[in-house]
Amino acid sequence: MSDEEKVSKIMFVNRRAPHGSIYAYEGLEVKLIMGAFDQDLSAIFMDDAVLALKKGQDTSELGVKEFSATFRVLEDYGIEKIYVVEESLKERGLSVDELVIQPEVIPISKVAELMEQQDVLLSF
């Protein structure tokens, strides 16, 4: 990377449920693609997006591919700062032990601070 090239801080903000729309799946694909570039990447899961990280999902009756296990490779793609909002987990009756990855659990009060530190926010 040359001196002129700037490393951008990019955060993927995940808020939507994993099924019923393309946002969660497409967001995962974008994360993997962006991981190929030399940027400072992070991801936060809040609201219904925490459900995308739940272990043992059965999507056979929905007729869609189950993709939650793919979140395990995010760190391999350079996305090592992964957060989940504590209140979102609690509201959905989940614990971090029930997730396919082990993200950093943060309170909702810390979300704005993290977002302010970013150059770009991509919402899914």
pLDDT per residue over 68-99, tens digit each?
889 999 999 999 999 999 999 999 999 999 99
Which residue type sits at 50? V
From the list 86, 85, 69, 77, the residue with the least C-alpha distance to 25 is 69
Query: What percent of the chain shows pLDDT beyond 70?
Result: 96
Distance between CA 36 and CA 42 in Å, rounded? Answer: 14
Domains of the chain from N-terminus onward: 9-56+65-123 (3.40.1260.10)
Mean pLDDT of the chain: 91
Average pLDDT, integer, range 22-50: 94
